[in-house]
Amino acid sequence: MLSIEYVYWLIAAFLLYTAWRNLLERQFSRAAFWLLLGLLFAGGDGVLAQLQAGRAWPAQVAGCMVIALALLAPRLRRRTHAETAQSAVRLASAIRLGHRLFIPALLIPLVTLLVALFGSHLSIGGMALFAKPQMALTGLALACVVALFAAARVAQAPLYRGLGEGRRLLDAIGWAALLPLLLAALGEVFTQSGVGAAIAALASAALPEGNAFMCLLVFALGMVMFTVIMGNAFAAFPVMMAGIGLPLLVQRYGAHPAVLGSMGMLCGYCGTLLTPMAADFNLVPAALLELRSPYGVIRAQAWSAAAIFIITFIAMWLLAFH
């Protein structure tokens, strides 16, 4: 049965391979960083099982490793590796392959969707092929492996070259590759620590009674600000909905919850365009394109974010209360 544990081990194997390659090149800080991260992934659900069994040491060890990662991160300067082929050769190869280059990329969402829809019905010898919990994530990992083999087939290149290119991209991204993981944890911390309740109390005390417009404006700006802080509108949404959206706008002023939720998320996405915390959208492309400034993508998006926010807020004000 394929479960999320195997996905952790697969990621760990790739990270350990990256650490080994950096060690061979005497890039000791990078090697240590990817080695520690690989060991954390290798623990997988095993660490969680240890915690549930009441054994505290795995959490302490993992905590020390996370602190070590934070200390090593500033030593990871942007690094680019030489391309495996000259630009003229790569251009000629791209022209020769044509639209077949899109096959591996399109296989990732296709295989993931098929596993999510039909994975629960697949079995071998009466045993389910995919574990039901987190089936979509398991399907995504399987899709990436399928895409790797497909890319090697399409490009007529050895399989190990794909691993080398993946390692090159990971070194180019550096510590920013961890931001999605850290931001997901931050969102959970905010939710569990009662930030939404604190915002509700503060908003009720500060906002004038009966002013739905000001309440809606604070909600929209709060979605932008919390998204800028946490880098993800999905992490900001439960905080702002629990603090202002449900208790004030929906229950007190009668706002339509569907309109409020959908357009509130769009306001949050405006914050995504403005923050380096959304590394996969803003920092990673700058690193891969080797822009002079790591914030070049954010600067290019700033005016678009402002225009989208203004239009979205006006539409939300006109539609949410009617």
Residue 152 has pLDDT above 80, yes or no: yes
Grade residue 4 by pLDDT with cuts at 50, 70 and 90.
confident
Listed in sequence order, the residues at least 6 apart from 86 whose beta carbon sits closer than 8 Å to its beta carbon are none
Grade residue 173 by pLDDT with cuts at 50, 70 and 90.
confident
Coil, helix or strand at residue 55 = coil
Average pLDDT over residues 174-193: 74
- CA 91 vs CA 87, 103, 155: distances in Å: 6, 18, 13
| Nearest-angstrom CA–CA distance, 8 and 33 | 17
User: What is the percentage of the chain residues whose pLDDT exceeds 70?
Assistant: 88
The pLDDT score that the predictor gives to residue 78 is: 62
Extended beta strands in the chain, E state: 123-124, 127-128
Tell me how far the alpha carbon of residue 226 is from its chain's centroid: 16
Residue 115 has pLDDT above 70, yes or no: yes
276 with 283: CB under 8 angstroms?
yes
The pLDDT score that the predictor gives to residue 313 is: 95
Tell me how far the alpha carbon of residue 205 is from its chain's centroid: 35
Grade residue 268 by pLDDT with cuts at 50, 70 and 90.
very high
| Nearest-angstrom CA–CA distance, 171 and 15 | 11
Reported as a single tens digit per residue, the pLDDT across 248-261 is 899 888 999 999 99
Instruction: Out of 95-104, 162-171, 212-221, 223-232, give the one with best mean pLDDT.
Output: 212-221
State the greatest distance between any 2 C-alpha atoms of the chain, in Å, as a whole number: 68
Q: What is the pTM of this model?
A: 0.68
Coil, helix or strand at residue 301 = helix
Query: Which of the two residues, 157 and 315, has the higher pLDDT score?
Result: 315
Reported as a single tens digit per residue, the pLDDT across 13-66 is 999 999 999 999 888 888 999 999 988 888 766 555 554 455 544 667 778 888
Reported as a single tens digit per residue, the pLDDT across 189-244 is 776 777 767 777 777 777 777 888 999 999 999 999 988 988 878 778 888 888 88
